[in-house]
């Protein structure tokens, strides 16, 4: 019986690692999206566009990128 539990523990560990890797990928994807939006916001402020609200502009741009 100990061999059976050992195999189950290895499988559970592998599943946890796989889940954490997927979660890590999603977090990095979200962070890269956030940083690109912050860069756009910064550039808009640098060139002095005040007519558009940066959040709305970023949402508008992201629709075309996604």
Q: Per residue, what are the HEC states of 21-32?
A: HHHHHHHHHHHH
Dihedral (CA of 34, 62, 36, 32) sign: positive
Q: Do 41 and 58 contact (CB within 8 A), yes or no?
A: yes
Which sequence spans correspond to the domains of the chain?
A: 2-65
Of 57 and 12, the one with more pLDDT: 12
Q: What is the pLDDT of residues 20-55, one digit of tens each?
A: 999 998 988 888 888 888 888 787 777 776 555 555
Q: What is the pLDDT of residue 54?
A: 53
58/46 Cα distance (integer angstroms): 15
Closest CA to 38 of 55, 25, 26, 22: 55
């Amino acid at each position: 019986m100990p061999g059976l539990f050992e195999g189950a523990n290895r499988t559970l560990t592998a599943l946890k690692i796989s889940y954490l890797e997927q979660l890590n990928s999603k977090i990095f994807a979200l962070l890269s999206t956030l940083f690109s939006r912050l860069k756009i916001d910064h550039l808009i402020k640098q060139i002095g566009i005040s007519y558009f609200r940066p959040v709305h502009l970023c949402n508008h741009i992201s629709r075309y990128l996604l």
